[in-house]
């Protein structure tokens, strides 16, 4: 999925997913079950992280 535009990506509807774009504030709580999808300014996925 890395390198894919977020608009073209699909995720499970019931998934615990958070999309993080540049300069977007996010909570600092830890959840190992959450998938964080990090994008660049163009909406391209740069990393997938669990925290």
Return the CATH number at 23: 3.30.10.10
Q: What's the domain count of the chain?
A: 1
pTM: 0.89
Instruction: Give the pLDDT confidence score for residue 49 in this predicted structure.
Output: 96
Q: What is the DSSP string of 1-51?
A: -TTSBGGG----TTS-EEEE-TT--------TTPEEEEE-TTSBEEEEEE-
Structural contact between residues 36 and 51, judged by C-beta atoms closer than 8 angstroms: yes
Does 1 map to a domain?
no
pLDDT per residue over 13-40, tens digit each?
A: 999 999 999 999 999 999 999 999 999 9
Segments forming the whole domain that contains residue 17: 6-50
The residues near 2 (Cβ < 8 Å, ≥ 6 apart) are: 45, 46, 47, 48
Give the pLDDT band of residue 43 (cuts 50, 70, 90): very high
């Amino acid at each position: 999925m890395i390198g894919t535009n977020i608009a073209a990506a699909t995720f499970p509807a019931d998934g615990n997913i958070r999309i993080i774009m540049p300069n977007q504030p996010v909570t600092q709580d830890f959840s190992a079950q959450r998938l964080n999808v990090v994008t660049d300014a163009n909406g391209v996925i740069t990393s997938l992280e669990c925290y």
